[in-house]
Structure 1
Amino acid sequence: MRPLALALGVASLVAGLALAATGAAGGLVTRVGFVLAALAAGVGALLALLVRSVEGPETTSLGRPPERPGVRRPGDRLDRKLAAAERGETLARDDLRERAEEGAVDALVRHSDRDRAAARDLLRRGEWPDDAVAAALFADRRSRPSLRDRVRVFLGGESTFRQRFARATAALWERYR
């Protein structure tokens, strides 16, 4: 809930009640109208608070829904590329593998005594990281997914590429954060 809107609403309610109670706003009809409007607003506010307390703080407020078109969130582009790679799009796989490899090469050069060529060779031989699944991302240069991988994805499983990519980025994060 927005604090300024809440404060303005409460101030208006109090002013309306004060005018209705003192009769400063006019005759009997005006006072009754103010009282009825104030009671309706008070009941509405109590209901809103009751519903909000039952639903808990996990629910979203009246803000913008995350599904709204045109709203970009961090990581959306990467998620789309990963989904395309899982569908077998070779350009997406190659691009993601290249980006991960560049990040790994940069990290290895920065945190070890290797030059870029030596770091790239280490990756392509599958000697880094220690996790064999993660190392396979850099060592296995096939762009097309295997038939087994396609069946696994079709049945709702995670592709080998996605597993390798996730483990490689996790290894980079753990080692060089």
Structure 2
Amino acid sequence: MDRPIADGLYSCWMHPAPSNETATATANNSSSAVPVSTVNRLPQEERSLAVNVQGTAPVGVTVRVKNIEVGTDATILDVSASYGGTASSDVTLAGSPTYLLDEQGNRLMLKPPQDDRDLRITKGQTMDGKLVFLGAVAEGTKAVKLVFNDNNDGNSIIDPGLTIALPLDDAAK
């Protein structure tokens, strides 16, 4: 039986639009400013990229990314995820940090659905739906990596690790 992964984009924390120039954000706890992150030029409009990329983890997890919506406040992936392994009755795709990683090392964290925060998949089942990542992919980014269960082995029977490279530059062609 198929079920949605995420319940759509809502109640996201909104920030003011950054300038078009690259800037450094600072934290000012004393008289000296300390750099905390780099802000890149963000997209001014939404775009949809058709992709067909699949990744597998040795434990029996298969994830296929079908579409990427690059928005101004969030990045949304249309995915199909299955668990066909026999090592356990289910696995989770977000029991450990799950995020999109860009070329500069910035992480766009998953906004987990309220009814399935760990993205649990039962043996023999497939989940079709959208994964919402908080934040926009910077303009000019050629690829991102989709990281499930950061730093976990792909053979883990609880939270298997899986990283999938997603091209952005040629995806829409």
TM-score by length of 2: 0.24
TM-score by length of 1: 0.24
The structure whose Rg is larger is: 1
Higher percent of residues as strand: 2
